[in-house]
């Protein structure tokens, strides 16, 4: 919702600026209309590209960093796109992985790379991915509350030792998880 308001405000602002700027060129009305629409389309495409950033900003506006670390353990690999889209936290196999807030399970399945993987969608479209689990305890579509046990950690998929691979995604794109962790 907040993201929508931000988007519409920004698009409205750009539309106004484009219209006023083009007005200075004294174009024919239909030229001004077509040029405005073209530029707006460009701006909107750019907005899509920066939407993770936008979402982070609106997220801060909505109360800032919400999440605790998903589990306690040593961070053995940090966020380093395009090589690594999340963080690795070394934990013993069988450590409970719990929902970090209220939300909904949008993926709970096997993946050749992520192994037994769970993705939970929280507020503002923020998604968290928990990978390489031994056992998944939830199903797609399940609602969760903060603290719901969603998996037992493991060493499945492309993994070289027991750990949790943790990602935060916005609209399916991985972002720096530390922007959202206290
Ligand atoms: Zn990883």
For residue 121, CA distances in Å to 45, 78, 111 come to 24, 22, 18
Percent of the chain with pLDDT over 90: 53
Is pLDDT at 49 greater than 70 in this prediction? no
Is pLDDT at 172 greater than 70 in this prediction? yes
Distance in Å, CA 97 to ligand 1 centroid: 16
Is pLDDT at 3 greater than 80 in this prediction? no
Distance in Å, CA 3 to ligand 1 centroid: 29
Distance in Å, CA 62 to ligand 1 centroid: 29
Is pLDDT at 78 greater than 60 in this prediction? yes
Is pLDDT at 158 greater than 70 in this prediction? yes
> Given this model, what pLDDT does residue 59 score?
59
Indicate the average pLDDT of the chain: 87
Distance in Å, CA 80 to ligand 1 centroid: 10
pLDDT digits (tens, 9 = 90+) for 125-149: 889 999 999 999 999 999 999 999 9
Question: Domains of the chain: which residue ranges?
Answer: 2-49, 74-179
| Contacts (Cβ under 8 Å, ≥6 apart) of 150 | 97, 98, 99, 105, 108, 118, 120, 130, 136, 137, 138, 144
Distance in Å, CA 139 to ligand 1 centroid: 23
Encoded tokens for 50: 């920066």
> Given this model, what pLDDT does residue 130 score?
98
Distance in Å, CA 24 to ligand 1 centroid: 53
> Given this model, what pLDDT does residue 118 score?
98
Q: Which of 10-24, 42-56, 120-134 has the highest mean pLDDT?
A: 120-134
Is pLDDT at 6 greater than 90 in this prediction? no
Distance in Å, CA 87 to ligand 1 centroid: 6
> Given this model, what pLDDT does residue 60 score?
63
Distance in Å, CA 160 to ligand 1 centroid: 10
Is pLDDT at 1 greater than 60 in this prediction? no
Q: Which residue has the higher pLDDT, 122 or 3?
A: 122
Distance in Å, CA 68 to ligand 1 centroid: 18
Q: What dotted CATH number matches 74-179?
A: 2.70.70.10
Distance in Å, CA 145 to ligand 1 centroid: 25
Q: Where residue 52 falls among pLDDT bands split at 50, 70, 90?
A: low
């Amino acid at each position: 919702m907040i993201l929508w308001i931000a988007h519409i405000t920004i698009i409205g602002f750009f539309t106004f600026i484009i219209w006023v700027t083009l007005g200075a060129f004294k174009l024919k009305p239909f030229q001004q209309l077509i040029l405005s629409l073209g530029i707006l389309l460009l701006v909107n495409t750019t907005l899509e590209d920066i939407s993770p950033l936008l979402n982070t900003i609106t997220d801060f506006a909505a109360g800032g960093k919400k999440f605790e670390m998903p589990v306690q353990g040593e961070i053995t690999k940090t966020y380093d796109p395009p090589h690594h889209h999340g963080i690795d936290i070394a934990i013993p196999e069988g450590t409970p992985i719990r929902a970090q807030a209220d939300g909904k399970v949008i993926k709970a399945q096997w993946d050749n790379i992520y192994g037994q993987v769970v993705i939970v969608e929280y507020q503002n479209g923020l998604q968290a991915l928990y990978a390489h689990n031994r056992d998944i305890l939830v199903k797609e579509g399940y609602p969760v509350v903060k603290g719901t046990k969603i998996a037992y950690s493991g060493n499945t998929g492309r993994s070289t030792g027991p750990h949790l691979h943790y990602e935060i995604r916005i609209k399916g794109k991985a972002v720096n998880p530390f922007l959202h962790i206290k």
